[in-house]
Structure 1
Amino acid sequence: MSLILVTGGVRSGKSRFAEELAEKTSGSVIYVATGEAWDEEMTARIEKHQARRPAHWGCVEAFGQLADVRAASAGYEVVLVDCLSTWVSNRLMSVPEPEWRSESITQEIVRDAKEWLAGVAEAGQSQTVIAVTSEVGLGGVAMSRLGRWFADVLGDVNQLTARQADTVYAIMAGIPWRIKG
């Protein structure tokens, strides 16, 4: 098993780099899409990602628990999860405002990430998992309560994933830097 984390700022080129890495690793790739079309802009982003992917790749959507995609990804040599930050964002967007920063919801999301990571470890040598995420640790503190909660939860998920990852790349202005492995 190989877990590769690709992190960087928004629009840094991390998804494109991860896609190229997946293609170089194997032709047997399943793309785990976490983006939901909440509005026209997000619909356009999703369409851009779809157009860029090779037609022979499999695709599964993961809006809830990431661990739920294990069955769909069985038989593929590479699993490309794009991306953890959108997955966390989707989870938080479904929470009513009075429950923002709920410790139980935070723990639920982190627990789901740990369950997914346990499944990645169980896959053994049969799969390479490439996970894309946005780095929240380089910017300032968000101005909104929801934004601060997002940064806190995603920071926890990113740290868990990076600790387990064999290799971590940081992408800046389209340039990958290997920072682990």
Structure 2
Amino acid sequence: MMQLILGGARSGKSRFAEQTAKDSNLNVTYIATAQASDREMQARIDHHQAQRPKHWTVIEEPLYLADCLIELDQPNQVILVDCLTLWMSNLLMHENAELQMQECLKLLNIIPILQSELILVSNETGLGIIPMGEISRRFVDESGRLHQQLGEIAEKVVFCVAGFPMILKGEK
């Protein structure tokens, strides 16, 4: 089963995803996509680390998410990926201009064959004004396309607002 959990910054999406993983009573592997490029980002990473159970396996993978999922895949476990929009930023800023498209396609192709339960967390980027800069517009566009494609194949899609999950697709 694959779940997509979307929401804005500080919407409660990560907390909801982590609680969902805990409630599964399965072993959890957490894939972190963030890179600490400055003090503020390091503080965010530290906050997330403090919230997670210490017994979870944590893998840091900023670029090659699909390969990481294939390597970790096994039945009777949850893999929680937080977050896809940081992953998208990493891909878009990479020197290889083709990497973003290649890695997104690879991810979409491997998800249906995974045996693990999969929880994907991402920021909903399409609710604001159209950004002024080209890279910002591309980020919003590519994130939105990826969310739509993932939403199609997900068994469950949840949108978090003010700490409250709203189920968009799947069980009520």
SS in 1 for 2:159: strand
CA distance in 1, matches of 2:54, 2:70: 21
Question: How much does 1:109 deviate?
Answer: 1.8
Question: How much does 1:71 deviate?
Answer: 4.6
CA distance in 1, matches of 2:51, 2:86: 18
Task: Give the helix-richer structure, 1 or 2.
Answer: 1
5+ residue gaps, structure 1: 97-103
5+ residue gaps, structure 2: none
Task: Decide which of 81, 95, 102 is 1:111's aligned counterpart.
Answer: 102
Aligned residues of 1:85 and 1:154 also touching (Cα < 8 A):
yes
SS in 2 for 1:4: strand
Q: How many residues align?
A: 169
Amino acid at match of 1:141: I
For 2:86, the equivalent position in structure 1 comes to 86
RMSD over equivalenced CA pairs, Å: 1.6
For 2:48, the equivalent position in structure 1 comes to 49
Indicate the percent of aligned positions where both proteins have the same amino acid. 39
For residues 32-47 of structure 1, the aligned pairs below 5 Å read: 32-47=31-46
CA distance in 2, matches of 1:110, 1:13: 29
Q: Deviations over 1:27-59 (max 9, x none)?
A: 400001000001000000001111111011111
Aligned residues of 1:26 and 1:78 also touching (Cα < 8 A):
no
Question: How much does 1:74 deviate?
Answer: 2.9
Question: How much does 1:158 deviate?
Answer: 1.0
Amino acid at match of 1:168: V
SS in 1 for 2:132: coil
For 1:65, the equivalent position in structure 2 comes to 64
CA distance in 2, matches of 1:163, 1:111: 19
Question: How much does 1:64 deviate?
Answer: 1.3
For 1:122, the equivalent position in structure 2 comes to 113
SS in 2 for 1:63: coil
Q: TM-score, normalised by structure 2?
A: 0.91
Question: How much does 1:95 deviate?
Answer: 4.2
For residues 99-178 of structure 1, the aligned pairs below 5 Å read: 105=98, 108-123=99-114, 126-178=115-167
SS in 2 for 1:143: coil
CA distance in 1, matches of 2:63, 2:104: 11
Q: TM-score, normalised by structure 1?
A: 0.87
CA distance in 2, matches of 1:61, 1:115: 18
Question: How much does 1:156 deviate?
Answer: 1.2
